[in-house]
Amino acid sequence: MNGLSRSRPGARTLTSRQRRAAIILAIVASLFITVDVAAAPFRDARGGVSGVLGSLARATDSVVGPARRFVQGVPDVGANREKIATLEQQNADLRRKLVDQTIDQASADQIAALQLHADASGLPLLPARVIGTGPGQGFEFTVVIDVGAPDGVVLGQTVTAGAGLIGRVVDVQESSSTVLLIGDADAGIGVRNLRTGELGVLRGTGTGSLVLSPLDPAADLKAGDQLVSGPTGESTFVADLLVATITAASRAPSGAFTATASPAASLTALNVVGVLLTAPPPAAGSPIAGRAPLQPGGN
């Protein structure tokens, strides 16, 4: 069947032709990795594929988005016990309407929070809706938003979710952009402890929590300390935005302090976000639309 042979029941053997094909494809994939890490020659191809996938994702989101947002809104509804107690006394139609209303209210609250934040920072803010995650989800933590280059989005811009900073733009297309979340294992951001003024680097772990490494190994860290984005000029992020709150601090045998922190804005329940329309980072020849190289610890 399909050019394969069976050596024993329960197992299928690759033909010699298939084995050769597997070896050749593995070599090709390895070459792609090596070349892309060394010289990044796939920028145009990436832009094309990202653009097509972004456009298709927008169309797909218009179909599956309502159902997804309904499921995502269920925990919020469950958290509001008083409202549920009232809802339980009403009929099924009214309950469905109230759930929809709750989801709309959550979106409205997020937009209001974004506007408040934009007013405080004095920067123009572009509201955007999250239409999906990156196709390589599981290997990287990115989200795709429904605004692109024509809306004023450029590489490196800071993205917030009302309560706090969530990431930066790493890819811009005509109708969509990709945001690398601060929880990604490759994401790093320079931060300042609001209580002590100590500086440090906050890194993602790929699991939802963040790890803080203070520049001064003996820095005083306490649970509850708030961390804001680093000093102006020292970071690609907009300064003084709330990023995370320390949840636990520990001391290594070497005496150095490290801490875990939780993001100020939930990275797992993103719906409406805001792109702070700052000038792009000072890199000569930065493209308006395209993809930024992923720099480990790109703070």
Partner 1 sequence: MVARVCAAIAVALTALLLQMTLVGPLAPWAPASLPAVVVAAVAITAGPGAGMSMGFSLGLLADLGSAHPVGVLALTWLGLGALVGRYADPRRARTSTITLAAIGAALAGIAGEVLLALVQSDAIRIPSLPRQLIIALVLDAALLVLVLPAARSILGRLRAPTLGIQRG
The sign of the torsion formed by the CA atoms of 205, 266, 60, 159 equals: negative
Q: Is 4 in the site for partner 1 (CB under 8 A)?
A: yes
Name the minimum Å distance from CB 229 to partner 1.
Answer: 21
DSSP-assigned states of every residue in 183-211 = TSTT-EEEEEETTT--EEEEEE-SSS-EE
DSSP 32-55: HHHHHHHH-TTHHHHHHHHHHHHH
Scan residues 129-158 and list those touching partner 1 (CB under 8 A).
Answer: 130-144
Question: In angstroms, what is the minimal distance from the CB of 95 to partner 1?
Answer: 22
Residue 79 or 85 with smaller CB distance to partner 1: 79
Binding window for partner 1 (CB under 8 A); candidates: 82-90, 183-191, 222-230, 244-252: 183-191
Q: Kindly write down the DSSP assignment for every residue of 233-283, as one continuous string.
A: TS-SSPTT-EEEEEEEEEE-TTS-EEEEEEESS-SSS--EEEEE-PPPPS-
- Whole-number minimum distance, CB 9 to partner 1, in Å? 8
Q: Does 37 bind partner 1 (CB under 8 A)?
A: yes
Q: CB of 271 within 8 A of CB of 72?
A: yes
| Contact range with partner 1 by CB under 8 A, out of 56-64, 115-123, 151-159, 226-234 | 56-64
Maximum Cα–Cα distance for the chain, whole Å?
A: 71
The minimum distance between CB 190 and partner 1, in angstroms, equals 19
Continuous segment of H or E residues that includes residue 176: none
The answer to whether residue 10 forms part of the interface with partner 1 (CB under 8 A) is yes
Contact 156, 168 (CB under 8 A): yes
Short-list 293, 273, 270, CA closest to 281 = 293
Nearest CB to partner 1, comparing residues 67 and 279: 67
| First-to-last C-alpha distance (Å) of the chain | 53
Q: Does 252 bind partner 1 (CB under 8 A)?
A: no
Q: Does 287 bind partner 1 (CB under 8 A)?
A: no
272 and 115 Cβ atoms separated by less than 8 Å: no
Tell me the residue length of the chain.
Answer: 299
Beta-carbon-side half-sphere exposure of residue 219 (alpha carbons within 13 Å): 23
- Which stretch, 50-58, 96-104, 121-129, 231-239, contacts partner 1 (CB under 8 A)? 50-58
> Any contact of residue 25 with partner 1 (CB under 8 A)?
yes
Instruction: Decide if residue 208 touches partner 1 (CB under 8 A).
Output: yes
Among 76-84, 98-106, 126-134, 148-156, which window interacts with partner 1 (CB under 8 A)?
Answer: 126-134
Taking the complex as a whole, the smallest distance from the CB of residue 161 to partner 1 amounts, in Å, to 13
* Residue 71 vs 85, nearer CB to partner 1: 71
Whichever of 2 and 91 has its CB closer to partner 1, that residue is 2
| The only residue of 80, 86, 101, 205 in contact with partner 1, by rule CB under 8 A | 205
* 116 lies in the binding site for partner 1 (CB under 8 A): no
291, 170 contact by CB (below 8 A): yes
Q: How many CA atoms lie within 13 A of 188 on its CB side?
A: 14
For the CB of residue 47, give the shortest distance to partner 1 in the complex, in Å.
9
Using CB under 8 A, pick the residue from 26, 108, 120, 248 that binds partner 1: 26
